[in-house]
Structure 1
């Protein structure tokens, strides 16, 4: 009889332990499910409140933000953000030369800044078709600080002053538009006439230039 009671107790304990483990696992799973549901509700509430996840700024964006906040633009230059000020990495610079061959013209440049800035220079193109020895008809700009002379210590302000200098002192020694460079070098008066014709909206040789003055 005693042996029977002992065997029954042993069997009961062996049967009870797996049952207890199953119950513990079920409780844990329920808790995990509750946590997931709570987290999902929090996400839905944040979405309903219109809160977007905060995007971490790159080192390039932080540096660019600093450069733009410290801009000291020439009076002939302005800046605009076509995509809004939330997109600082893409903006436009408008140059209105107040002296030289291009006096009275309006020239728009697009700036596309890489997250690697200032270790890489900004990509700059001229949206305005212009008769210029250092800007080709596709808008590519020949400016040494945008190429081999770029250094991380330079900034957007430096590039803007360089663009202004292209209009007050066009250079025939390192041209992109070789035809315009040759005319500037050999016949400055004809070059001046060609610039005025292009800015007023007309043909120079076989190329038409929309009005920009």
Structure 2
């Protein structure tokens, strides 16, 4: 009994060991294992890897030359719950709505705890290389892409340079100027 009390007194004087959440440990592991993806860059504060800035700069497709920033929040339930992404600039995209919500199947119904942040970053890049009109958040953009591809291309170009599409002003994500074509 005396030995137990002595150990309790000794332990009371030791600093408490801070426990690391599963989410934090997994986020750190995913970020440490991250291998560079062309046209994708990430940044985060090493003391808080639960908030990540993702930048996508497609080098081909409709969105070529644009710079698209995303804020990523890793939830405390990660990896059992998918990370949350928000597109910072307002863009014209079938799978990203005007408020910046992202529609990517692996961030919703197809999320599995075995998926990594690397895979999600690559999935978001893929949305810019091959937008999907069959799973839209922006139905107008999806309709244009599916039925009027030339019109969609013109609308994307107009929006990348900070122009208007159907009365909606978009953020400039590409340098230079765009001369609107009326042939579609």
For the superposition of Structure 1 and Structure 2, which TM-score range results when normalised by the shorter chain? 0.7 to 0.9
Pick from 112, 117, 122 the counterpart of residue 156 of structure 1.
117
**Pairwise CA distance, 1:190:** 1.1
SS of the residue corresponding to residue 88 of structure 1 reads strand
- Aligned CA-pair RMSD: 1.7
- Structure 2 gap segments, 5+ residues each: 1-8, 175-184
Number of equivalent positions: 163
Pick from 29, 34, 37 the counterpart of residue 71 of structure 1.
34
**Pairwise CA distance, 1:85:** 1.9
Relative to the length of structure 1, the TM-score reads: 0.73
Match of 2:182 in 1: none
Higher helix share: 1
* Distance in 1 between residues matched to 2:57 and 2:18, nearest whole Å: 36
Higher relative contact order (CA 8 A, sep 6+): 2
* Distance in 2 between residues matched to 1:56 and 1:111, nearest whole Å: 23
Pick from 63, 67, 71 the counterpart of residue 106 of structure 1.
67
Match of 2:177 in 1: none
**Pairwise CA distance, 1:56:** 2.0
- Structure 1 gap segments, 5+ residues each: 1-34, 44-52
Pick from 112, 127, 140 the counterpart of residue 101 of structure 2.
140
